[in-house]
Amino acid sequence: MVGSREELEGKLNEFQNLQSQLQMLMIQKQQLKLQLEEIDDASEELKKAKGAVFRSVGTLLIEATREESEKELKERKESTDVRVKALTRQEEKMRERLESLKKELESAMGKGGA
C-alpha cells in the first residue's frame, strides 16, 4: 500500500522507469527476432546455393565449407533463441510488476483524491 505523498511519488517514478525499461526490452527482443529471421533466410539460401560458399568476416568475404556455415548458423540461432527466451521472461516479470504498481497507484489515488 502507498501511504505518504513521498511513497506515492516513489511508486509513480518506479512505474515510469519500468515502462521505459519495458520499451527498451521490447525493442531488444524485436531486434533479436529480426536476427532470427535473417538466420533462417541465410539457412534457406545456403541450402539452395551451388558451388563455393563465403562468409563475411568484417569487411572481407572468406570462403567457408557448407558444413562450417551450417554449424555457425545453427549455433547463432540457438544462442539468439536463448536470448529471446530470457527477454521474454524478463518482460513477463516487468509486466507483472507494472500491473501491481498500477493497482497500488490507482488505489492510492482513489483514496487520497486528485
Give the pLDDT confidence score for residue 112 in this predicted structure. 57
Give the pLDDT confidence score for residue 78 in this predicted structure. 98
Give the pLDDT confidence score for residue 111 in this predicted structure. 67
Q: What is the pLDDT along the chain (114 residues), one digit of tens a residue?
A: 556 888 889 999 999 999 999 999 999 999 999 999 999 999 999 999 888 899 888 999 999 999 999 999 999 999 999 999 999 999 999 999 999 999 999 988 886 554
Q: Quick one: 69 exposed, middle or buried, by C-beta within 10 A (0-12, 13-18, 19+)?
A: middle
Give the pLDDT confidence score for residue 100 in this predicted structure. 96
CA angle 66-56-31, nearest 5°? Answer: 100
Pairing of strands 53-57, 60-64: antiparallel
Whole-prediction pTM: 0.81
Give the pLDDT confidence score for residue 1 in this predicted structure. 53
Give the pLDDT confidence score for residue 2 in this predicted structure. 58
Chosen CATH of 5-26+50-112 out of 3.40.1310.30, 3.40.50.720, 3.40.309.10, 1.10.287.370: 1.10.287.370
Give the pLDDT confidence score for residue 5 in this predicted structure. 85
Q: How far apart are the first and last CA of the chain?
A: 17
* Residue spans per domain, the chain: 5-26+50-112
